[in-house]
Each structure stands twice: as structure tokens, then as C-alpha cells.
Amino acid sequence: MTDVHKVLIIGSGPAGYTAAIYSARADLAPTLIAGREPGGQLMLTSDVENWPGEPDGVLGPDLMEKLKKQALRFGTEFLQDMVTEVDFSSQPFTVKTADKEFKSETVIISTGAVAIWLGIPGEERLQGKGVSACATCDGFFFRDKKVVVIGGGDSAMEEATFLTKFASEVIILVRRDELRASKIMQKRAMDNEKITILWNTNALEILGEEKVEGVRVKNNKTGEEQTLEVDGYFAAIGHKPNTEIFKGQLELDDKGYIKHAPDSTKTNIEGVFASGDVMDPLYRQAVTAAGTGCMAALEAERYLASKE
């Protein structure tokens, strides 16, 4: 008979590691299945200057290494593997990797989300060198610079408006001749004199060797191409939560985020909790992910206590 774990955590971003730190310190001996490339989205960033307690900033990968070390220090069992299948239909829950099967009384899901990219040349190569999908994280580095923002939804309007705090000019590239964003967010962006919108415009390529130096764009109505000389490129066309393996097992919203009870990490299955970007389409910050990771661990602990 396989051992039944008390707490099994899937994912190794700030949410997963924080859930591990809290549940390990509550003597619940958590097992954390980290994915193939542990550390989550912060592994793709350079300087993180908004993590409290790091007044001089910290490199994303260094921060994740510290969180991992802290989780291991209290006895988290760490496994660098991908979960391929889950079964939440009966207790204890089943979680499978390619060659292992785990049973657990509670599961904390912290599998995160990924930014959706256009997939154009230069986007991957210049990530962290002027290419970003998070204005809150990286806007500060564009003081008095020119940037483009891609997208016409609320994220694009919010990111563009936020970027005007720093940038001298923000150009929003919208692929249609109208915005998807809510009226109030549209108005806020359009009333901002630092923001220009280029309609019916697609980005074709990001230029620059060591850093972003420009973006080649095309008007999809006239076919006219031009190069915008900018220092930054922000993709704001949406995020995709990593919930493929939970389809049919948990209630997801129409965008695929895990549904949870208000002010709680409880999912529709008792004993299964969700924390971090996989359940949060709004804030998407390392510190809020860590916060919900802590909540999930406390709620799992209370759930286990209530069963005894």
C-alpha cells in the first residue's frame, strides 16, 4: 500500500514554496512536486525590486533558490518532476507523475500561469532585456524611455497607463479598430497624453542585439510597414493558467482559472486548495502568490485537524 501523505503541493513558484514552508513548519511533512523546470515565472526575470524585505532588489532565480532552501530546511520533500494526471474523485486523492503515484489527504495546487506571447522574432531572445509581460514588475526600468504595449484588453490599458508614470511615451498596438477593454479603462488610457494608439497594427519583429532598440510593425488594413524606435516591449494579450491536467476534476472559470471560495483557497473539492496565479487573474504578483500559498497551507492544516 502506498504511503498516504498529509499535504502534497504541485508547483514551485512563490505560492508553492510558501505553502511548503508553512505546512512543513506545521509538521505536516509536505511533498512538493516542482515541475520539470522549478521556480516558475520568476526564473525568467532579472531584477525583482518589489519583493518586501529585499531593499536592494534580488534576482528572480536567486529569490526562488532562497524560497526553495527555506522550504527544504523545515523538511519539505522535493521532487523535480511533472504531474501528468490527478484523480480527486475519492479520498485519499491520487496524483501521478510519469513513473510514480502519490496518495494524499490534501492537495495544494500552485501550478501558476504563463503570459501569452505573440511568438514573433526577438520576443524570446530579448526577454529581460526590454521585453516583458509585467509592467508592475519592470516599468521602473523605463524612466524617460519609449515603449510599446501589445493588446486591446483591460490588461493592455492598465499596463500602458501604469507605464506612463515612467516612460516618456507609450504606444499601444491594437490589431483591430476597437478595444476589448472596459469603457472606463479605455477612457483612462485615451485621456492620457503620453499614450498613442496605433489601430489595425500588428507587431512583426523586435529589433536589437543586446537590448530592445525598435519594433517593426505593419498596418493590417493598408499593408504599410514601419519601424518604431522604442526601448521596451510589453506583451499584454492575456495569461494562460496551467490547469490542463485539472480539467474535468475541478471547477474552472471560462478562462481556465481554478474557481475558489471567496476570500479562500478552497476549490469545489473539499481538501483540494489552489494558490497563486493559477487562481488569480487579477494581481499576479509574487507577493500575492506567496500570500495565497500561506492561506492554502493554513486551510489544509485546518481541514486535516477537522477530520481527526
Site for ligand NDP in 180-199 (CB under 6 A): 180
Contact criterion met (CB below 8 Å) for 232 and 250: no
Closer CB to ligand NDP, 57 or 238, in the complex: 238
Q: Mark the segment that binds ligand NDP (CB under 6 A) among 69-77, 133-141, 172-180, 242-250.
A: 172-180
Q: How far apart are CA 231 and CA 128, in angstroms?
A: 12
> What string marks each residue from 43 to 82 as x (binds ligand NDP by CB under 6 A) or -?
----------------------------------------
> What string marks each residue from 236 to 275 as x (binds ligand NDP by CB under 6 A) or -?
-xx-------------------------------------
What does the DSSP assignment read for 255-300? TSPBP--TTS-B-SSTTEEE-GGGS-SS---HHHHHHHHHHHHHHH
In the annotation, is 294 catalytic?
A: no
Q: Residue 243 contacts by C-beta under 8 Å, 6 or more apart in sequence?
A: 111, 250, 252, 256, 257, 258, 278
Q: How far apart are CA 60 and CA 57, in angstroms?
A: 9
Q: Mark the segment that binds ligand NDP (CB under 6 A) among 20-28, 86-94, 120-128, 146-154.
A: 146-154
Give me the least distance between CB of 159 and ligand NDP, in Å please: 8
Number of amino acids touching ligand NDP (CB under 6 A): 15
The partner residues of 131 in beta bridges, in order of sequence, read 127, 233
Q: How far apart are CA 294 and CA 288, in angstroms?
A: 10
Closer CB to ligand NDP, 58 or 217, in the complex: 217
In the annotation, is 138 catalytic?
A: yes
Contact criterion met (CB below 8 Å) for 140 and 241: no
Of the residues 137, 277, 280, 294, which is catalytic?
137
**Rounded to the nearest 5°, which phi and psi values hold at 44?**
-95, 0
Residues lying near ligand NDP in the complex (CB under 6 A) are found at 118, 150-156, 158, 175-176, 180, 237-238, 281
Residues designated as active site: 134, 137-138
